[in-house]
Every structure is written in C-alpha cells, then in structure tokens.
A and B are shown apart, each in its own frame.
Chain A
C-alpha cells in the first residue's frame, strides 16, 4: 500500500539520549517534511527537504537534524533529547515543492522524554 511509514510508533526516552525517528515514503515524492504536534499549538515545521540531497530549517529546528540521502527516506535525529521535545512527530511528503501541493502524512511517532 502506497504511503508513508514512520517508526517507532511510540518511544519513551531518557533525557540526554540520542534518538532517530524514521520516515519512509513509497510515492516517489520530491518533498518531505517533519512536524511536531503539541496540544493547543497545532503542527509546527521542524525541517524539510525539497528534493534528495537538500534540507532546510523550519519554524522549530533547534535540537533536531535531518538528512535526505535518497528520495524515500527522511530520518529525524534528536542528538541529545530534552523533556521539551516530548511531542507527537509527523512526517509528510508532497509530490512537488510548490505551495499548491497536497501533503500526505504518516501515522506519527509519540515520543516521551523523561
């Protein structure tokens, strides 16, 4: 089934630990995005990639890094997790880079940092 998969589904992590959230899409979309969703704040963009090999910073990039080695995968890494990074993380993709492109979302990863 075409779409976006994220792993893990949920994770409890000790503060200071390193964690990589995985995201894979099989739609051959050019653009990919990482958002975090916090209660009352909607979704906020962390990082994005317009095409394989390029990445950019979103609204809340501090404490996170991404890479885009190929079209399908867009992992998000927390180098040293802090409790304020407790959130639900969504990966999304779109066929093009344009403002009119629909974004397709993965099921999310619920991360708790203690």
Chain B
C-alpha cells in the first residue's frame, strides 16, 4: 500500500493564484520530499524537509511538515503556466533511501 497520499488528486487554477496540495502518510518518517513531473518526463526533485523541521522555503515553494498529524503541504505561490505538472510527495522511512511515492496531484495553471 502507498505510504503517502496526495490531496487533491487534481487542481485547476489561474496564473497568479496560489496552489496548495497536501500529503498524508501512515508511518514515522526520516524525511519527506516533493517532486514534480511534467507530462511525459521524469521526476524532478523540488524540496526535502526532515522530520525535525516544520517549514522550508525554496523560491516560490513553501513546504510544511506536521509529524503529529503525519501530513505535509506544498504551497506554490504566484503560480505560472509553467507550473502545470503532477506533484508527488515521497517519504523515506529507513536509512537506505527507499522512497515511497504517493499517487500525485495533477496541477493545471491556465493563463
């Protein structure tokens, strides 16, 4: 079964709006990572947040982690058409880097 589950499954917004997606997971984690996948391409790493961190920023991305609720959120501010992609959370439970991916949130940003 999947460790991480994203919500919503799909999100449609207009350029300039913020996009928020959530990831819930089932067991304790070492870290949680977010990846982006453009249509027909491989995944690209966006940001990693460790279990002892609560919030992290990278450019227009803001990630939060609430280990008590076993959940994380990814916020994309001032979205652009180029942000159209699927976004996946991935959790690492052990020290060997075996990530478990959720099913993803498909984001469409319209001009």
Contact present for A101 and B101 (CB under 8 Å): no
Known: A40-B103, A42-B88, A42-B102. A98 touches B41 (CB 8 A): no
Q: Assess whether B48 is in contact with A102, with CB atoms less than 8 Å apart.
A: yes
Give the residues in chain B near A90, CB-CB below 8 Å: 42-43
For residue B58, CB closer than 8 A to chain A, the reply is: no
| Minimum distance in angstroms from A110 CB to a CB of chain B | 9
Number of chain B residues whose Cβ lies closer than 8 Å to a Cβ of chain A: 28
Total residues of chain A contacting the partner, CB 8 A:
30
B97 in contact with A99 (CB, 8 Å): yes
Stretch at the interface among A13-21, A43-51, A63-71, A72-80: A43-51
The answer to whether B101 touches A100 (Cβ under 8 A) is: no
Which residue of B2, B40, B95, B99 is within 8 Å of A103 (Cβ)?
A: B99
Question: By the criterion CB–CB under 8 Å, are B42 and A45 in contact?
Answer: no
Interface residues of A (CB under 8 A from B): 4, 31, 35, 40-45, 48, 50, 56, 58-59, 90, 92, 94, 96-108
13 additional A-B residue pairs with CB within 8 Å, beyond A96-B97, A108-B40: A31-B97, A41-B2, A45-B99, A50-B96, A94-B97, A97-B96, A98-B97, A99-B92, A99-B93, A100-B50, A102-B45, A105-B42, A108-B42
| 24 pairs of residues in contact across A and B, judged by CB atoms under 8 Å | A42-B2, A42-B88, A42-B104, A48-B96, A56-B96, A90-B43, A92-B42, A92-B43, A96-B97, A97-B95, A99-B31, A99-B92, A99-B94, A100-B31, A100-B48, A100-B50, A100-B97, A101-B97, A102-B33, A103-B45, A103-B99, A104-B45, A107-B42, A108-B40
